[in-house]
Structure 1
Amino acid sequence: MTSIRPPAVAGTFYPDDPSELSAMIHYFLSQADDSLPAPKAVIVPHAGYIYSGPIAASAYAPLKKAADQIKRVVLIGPSHRVAFEGLAVSSADQFVTPLGAIPIDKQAVEAILHLPFVHLLDQAHSLEHSLEVQLPFLQSVLNDFKLVPIVAGDASAEQVSTVLEILWGKSETLIVISSDLSHYHDYFTAQQMDQNTSQLIESLHYEQLDFDSACGRVPVTGLLRYARQHGLKPKTIDLRNSGDTAGDKNRVVGYGAYVINQTTSEYSA
């Protein structure tokens, strides 16, 4: 019998009606610049769509041009509900959203399960929104793909980058890192903090990031460590906060969209 991970935050973080959800995502995508090259890796926010959806769309829109190429998505986000050490994968065969089911790349999961810090931990996935909110966007911009869902607990940048070394692949693989930025500061303080975080991300100074910089610091630092080791450079393509989208300016959450582009050789592989 097929084992599924059903949606946990449909109807709260995003619409649970498929038509409404699809329309919302396509509106966000239509407002984004899709002229950039399709990235190899992205960092995208994971709040409710009315708050962070437009910023996430900035990173997802360029991926439409690689819809036929990308066959696997490695998705890593922080754990909000379950405390554990290392990284957690799922035993599910499919992750389901209102837009349909996404098959899990079991072979890729097996390829990292031998690592001592990677655990099969369904509890970390069952209610986690940092991965789930990315799925309808991925379903909207890609065609047929398999998912490698990873929840990051108390893990190091080295551990995350080790997983990325195994799963990075070529043009068939997209890396998605889920993270918001600063939390619950006033608008102008958040702007300053998030601009500083973006500079650290672009300069690959991941050791200087903390949990006040980004709630997904663990997966973000792992990606940046990998990028530094392989001569890749992140680029900020959107930087806003909830005061710019759907909230007031007294207590905001920051959202950034960042891309790392592939090399020409990867595109031709």
Structure 2
Amino acid sequence: MARKPIVADQFYDSDFDNLQKQITNCFEGKLGPGTLPISKRDGEILGIIVPHAGYFYSGQCAAWAYKEIGEAAMPDLFIILGPDHTGSGSAISAEDWTTPFSDLKADIEFAKVLEATAEQNSGIKINNKAHEKEHSIEVQLPFLQFVNKDHMKTMKMLAIMVSHDVNIKKLAEDIKAAIKLTKKTVCFITSSDFTHYGENFGFTPFIYNIKESLLEMDNGAIETIKKLDSSVFLNYVKKTGATICGTLPIALMIDIIWQDVSDVHLLSYYTSVDITEGKDYSHSVGYAAMVFK
């Protein structure tokens, strides 16, 4: 059994050819990187932060991060960290995932090693059902396949949903231990939108200069992420109340890779209002793409 898509035709096109065109337009759009990845495949990427809204809104931002992946050396495994929007709790997925392009193979061996390693520490378990209704990881997969077309049949992924029911520090220890045991090269894909502003999100801390205030809030979060200290980032989110849905996955990735990172920078940032070319920021979401090398 493979996990079936739940947001095809909502967040992205379900037709093979139309989806290819949709993703190509994300790369070539005015807020995208401008070009498709060049298949040079060198250099190592430790991780990216990438949004997970509908491609109409956040696809051009996501394209910046996936261009980096498409031009980097191919890892043994992509670990995709996503937040829990459904209340299902933290969980490892140990099944393949279906997209309009093809099935994406799960690294079941790694999943089992991680579950065994975590048994006496973070306690995270394999739970495929927990992933059935969560969109944040699914939205990443067509982009990942698009920039790795030559590796479609051999590429491996592992989906991990991260919620408040797990100790982030302990889970980071478990993932690092599993990487060491399996001797895998890994690239992390951390799925997160940035600040959600508006009454629908229950977040209206300012009513004047909303655009500037949102930019200031998200820029502050981005700068704390660059410090590669999860406690600094988590404290910032707690202090400001920034509604960054992938706060825990971001903190987890930082705890896993911080010692190995030599370069981290912002690739793209804009808001949903920039896409609609409106001026009303009373309901808006920030999107950021970052790369860690």
Bin for the TM-score computed over the shorter chain: 0.7 to 0.9
**Given the alignment of the two structures, is residue 40 of structure 1 paired with residue 38 of structure 2, yes or no?**
no
**SS of 2:71 mapped into structure 1:** helix
Shift of residue 189, structure 1, vs aligned partner? 2.2
Q: Check if 1:79 corresponds to 2:84.
A: yes
Do 2:26 and 2:60's aligned partners in 1 also have CA atoms closer than 8 Å? yes
- Residue from 74, 89, 92 that aligns with 1:89: 92
1:125 is aligned to 131
CA distance in 2, matches of 1:129, 1:141: 20
Change (3 A) 1:228 1:62: closer
2:275 is the counterpart of 1:245: yes
Query: Which 4+ runs in 1 deviate beyond 6 A?
Result: none
* Matches of 1:223 and 1:100, distance apart in 2: 27
2:139 and 2:270 map into 1 onto residues whose CA distance is 18
Q: 1:267: which partner in 2?
A: none
Q: Which residue of 1 aligns with 2:113?
A: 111
Task: Kindly indicate whether the alpha-carbon contact (under 8 Å) linking 1:5 and 1:126 is maintained by their aligned counterparts in 2.
Answer: yes
Tell me how far 1:159 sits from its aligned partner. 3.0
Q: TM-score, normalised by structure 1?
A: 0.86
State how 1:12-161 maps to structure 2 within 5 Å.
Answer: 12-30=10-28, 31-32=32-33, 39-66=45-72, 69-84=74-89, 87-92=90-95, 94-114=96-116, 115-116=118-119, 117-142=123-148, 143=151, 144-154=154-164, 155-161=166-172
Relative to the length of structure 2, the TM-score reads 0.79
Residue 250 of structure 2 is aligned to residue 220 of structure 1: yes
- C-alpha deviation, 1:24, in angstroms: 1.1
Determine helix, strand or coil for the equivalent of 1:53. helix
| Unmatched runs of 5 consecutive residues or more in structure 2 | 199-209
State the one-letter code of the partner of 1:13: F
Q: Which runs of 5+ in 1 are unaligned?
A: 262-269
In structure 2, the CA distance between the partners of 1:37 and 1:66, relative to structure 1 (3 Å rule), is: closer
Q: Whole-Å Cα distance in 1 between the matches of residues 98 and 177 of structure 2?
A: 26
CA contact (8 A) 1:79 1:124 kept: no
2:4 aligned with 1:6: yes
Partner-residue secondary structure (3-state), 1:137: helix
Aligned CA-pair RMSD: 2.3
Distance 1:37 1:59, change over 3 A: farther
| Cα 1:61–1:231 shift into 2, 3 Å | closer
**Among candidates 180, 190, 195, match of residue 214 of structure 2:** 190
The structure with the greater share of residues assigned to strand is 1
Cα distance change on mapping 1:184 and 1:168 into 2, 3 Å: farther
Structure 1 residues 47 and 138, CA gap change in structure 2 (3 angstroms): same
Larger displacement relative to structure 2 (11-20 or 227-236)? 227-236
Amino acid at match of 1:203: K
How far apart are residue 55 of structure 1 and its match? 0.7
